[in-house]
Amino acid sequence: MISSLLLGLVAVASVLLVSCSPYPEHANQGRRSGTKPAKPSAAQVEQAKLQAQQEEERRAEEEKQLQAQTQAQAEPTAPELPKEHAVSPSTSRKLPEPKRFDYPTAKKVPGKEGVVLSPYNNMQVSIRNEDGSLIPSHTLVSDPTYPASEKKRFFVP
């Protein structure tokens, strides 16, 4: 008698447990009644597009901030230049004369004669020959902070 009562309680408990489990509604949707699932409304589509656009704008803003931080960190802080950053006169003489718009022009450093800012990385570059004389204005020179294989050239202002 106790065993049949215990067996009945177990059966009732299992039925209750199975009936309380969640039913996946999306699994058989459209199969029972023969209809297809409903398409998203126009408002939902517009809202999804707006959210995607806002996400794209947010990513672009973050990328701009990251580039600004990287550029600010790349600016030089040392007032004096090492000897390897000086432009040699042989480099300026060997280069062919291209059209003026093919290469950028460096910017002068205020208060420092013979020093310019490279247009490629904003580092200070000396524009003096080995004898100490200034390289003439509008002369094409190679940026000494890059290897010769990269061919980073600019005009002296």
pLDDT, tens digit, for every residue of 44-64?
A: 888 888 888 999 999 989 888
In a domain, 104, yes or no: yes
pLDDT band at 97 (very low <50, low <70, confident <90, very high): low
Residues 6+ apart with CB under 8 A from 90: none
Residues 6+ apart with CB under 8 A from 81: 115, 124, 125, 126
Q: Domain span at residue 94?
A: 83-155
**Residue 146: burial class (beta carbons within 10 Å; 0-12, 13-18, 19+):** middle
Interatomic CA distance for residues 57 and 53, integer angstroms: 6
Q: Return the ∠ at Cα 132 (arms to 129 and 138), rounded to 5°.
A: 45
In a domain, 103, yes or no: yes
In a domain, 134, yes or no: yes
* Tens digits of residue pLDDT in 4-47: 888 888 888 887 777 766 666 665 555 555 566 677 788 888 88
In a domain, 52, yes or no: no
Interatomic CA distance for residues 52 and 47, integer angstroms: 9
Distance of CA 27 to the CA centre of its chain: 41
Please state the domain count of the chain: 1
* Mean residue pLDDT across the chain: 78
What residues are paired with 155 via a beta bridge? 105, 140
**What predicted TM-score, i.e. pTM, was given to this entire model?**
0.38
* pLDDT at residue 28, as a whole number: 54
- The conformational region for residue 105 under phi > 0 = left, psi -120 to 50 = alpha, else beta, is beta
In a domain, 74, yes or no: no
In a domain, 108, yes or no: yes
Instruction: Pull the structure tokens for residue 29.
Output: 């949707």
DSSP string, 108-142: EPTT-TTEEE-TTT--EEE-B-TTSPBPPTT-EEE
